[in-house]
Amino acid sequence: MASEVGTTTAIELQCSANSPRTTSSEHQVEDHGNELEMPGLPPVDRGKDAYLFLAACFLIEALVWGFTFCFGVFQDYYSTHEPFRGEANIPVVGTCAMGIMYLSTPLVMYAHRRFPKPAQYSTILGLTIMCLALALSSFSTTVTHLIVTQGIFYAVGGSIAYASCIVYLEQWFVRRQGLAFGIMWSATGLSGVVLPLLLERLLSAKGYQTTLRIFACLVFLLTAPLSWFVRPRLPVAQASHARPFSLRFVFERPFLFYQAFNVVEAVGFFLPGIYLPSYARAVLGASPLPSVVATMLVNVANWAGCVTMGWLIDRLEVTHCFLVSSIGAAVGTLLLWGMSVNLPVLYIFCIVYGLFAGSYSSAWPGIMREVTAGTAEHGKLADPSMVFAFLAMGRGIGNVISGPLSEALVEGMPWQGKAFGGYGSGYGGLIAFTGATAFLGGGSFLWKRLGWL
């Protein structure tokens, strides 16, 4: 899922990941790091303080976002158990949670920037709201109660808790910033393997009420002590004296193009996660456990892909990274999923898709650096954390669109029995659309070559 450092100057902001062939950007990064190495402050990119900050952010990412990505486990339980059995709008709970967390990011980040002193306590405040929301949802007896607690309140708390991880990370990591973001964001993939198994077992053994209470207590006990380490590296008085920032970048051509490709990629990105278990059961005849394994493989590969992309974005121009992600995801989807006739081939697709498609957002630090460098040249300084916030909002728009769109793509089971492999399974339109959006997500590479970006 970056911020600016309180003492960052316009020269520093010109450090861009998209000019590795020149030595000027390398000198600027060096200057950036040297200016941050101030007496009495912990070092950047290394040392126990930076590593503890990253470890705390990793766990918060895993629990805050991991829970929203695991809502399918709750959805299956709610739809088959009282008092929610047969009720409509159960999927709205998960859509609210994930959608609000994405779409509210600009507002939360802006508040964090405008009020830096109280924002120091945003992590523990957000975690408290989030855990209380889970505890309250255990008393729900209607879907409306679930939407308000497990959906809306959880998302509000999660957004507030997560904001500091983004805003402060750039203070702690400079030369290895992309890798740090990649490591933090990979936590969602790792938790996507562990949490579904844990939650499914608890739901089967204890029911939803006890499960939600146990998980609320577990999250608070694990994250509350770590919130101490999610703190700014620079003194708050110094950080609050930072230069003002502008939001004009949102309406300028470079960001608009990046955002357009980001939204297109996001519209298709979430579709395999929604339908892979159903595809494995209905088309390939898999039992429940092998069907869940498909999603787990995507999450494991996602973890590896995020870390790898985080390493690459510190070394390669950003559109090259998007090209790698998009080509890998598109080829994997159109060939492997499209031609899958058995579980081994589907599993290979899951690994390839998680590795390439899952790493797309880990290239965002490249956009953040490029946009801030471009605005610095014109005196309209963009804040990196706000660039991230609007990119996250774009991903949220794609997530919201993908829900009803996916239903339209599988309605009537198009191409069923008229094509080979997955294309003739009734999911052919969904597969083709996912591959096409993955490919188009890398369009910034072509736009850059044509001089339009």
Q: In whole angstroms, what is the distance from residue 104 CA to residue 123 CA?
A: 16
Region for residue 40 given its phi and psi (left: phi exceeds 0; alpha: psi -120 to 50; beta: otherwise): left
Same domain, residue pair 208 and 281:
no
Using only the alpha carbons of the chain, give its radius of gyration: 22
Are 289 and 190 contained in the same domain? Answer: no
CA 63 to CA 191: how far, in whole Å?
Answer: 7
Would residue 144 count as lying in a domain?
yes
165 located within any domain: yes
Note whether 187 and 307 are same-domain residues: no
Whether residue 127 sits in one domain with residue 263? no
pTM of the model: 0.82
Structure-block tokens of residue 250:
């949102």
Based on DSSP, count helices (H) and strands (E) in the chain, helices before strands: 21, 0
Of the residues 242, 274, 299, the one at which a domain ends: 242
**Chosen domain end from 215, 242, 269:** 242
Residues 205/209/212/213 CA torsion (nearest 10 deg) = -100
Same domain, 263 and 183: no
Residue 345 placed within a domain: yes
Distance CA 390, CA 252 (A): 13
Which structural domain range is residue 235 located in?
42-242
Do residues 209 and 354 share a domain?
no
- Are both 229 and 285 inside the same structural domain? no
Q: Are residues 309 and 363 in contact, defined by beta-carbon separation less than 8 angstroms?
A: yes
> Structural domain tally of the chain?
2
**Quick check: is 8 in a domain?**
no
Give per-10-residue mean pLDDT for the chain (453 aa). 35 35 39 53 85 93 88 82 85 85 91 86 93 94 92 93 90 88 89 86 91 93 88 70 71 92 94 84 82 85 92 93 97 94 93 94 91 68 87 91 83 86 90 96 92 81
Amino acid at 17: A
Is residue 17 in a domain? no
Q: Could you say which of 212, 242, 272 is where a domain stops?
A: 242
pLDDT in tens, 391-413: 999 999 998 888 788 878 888 88
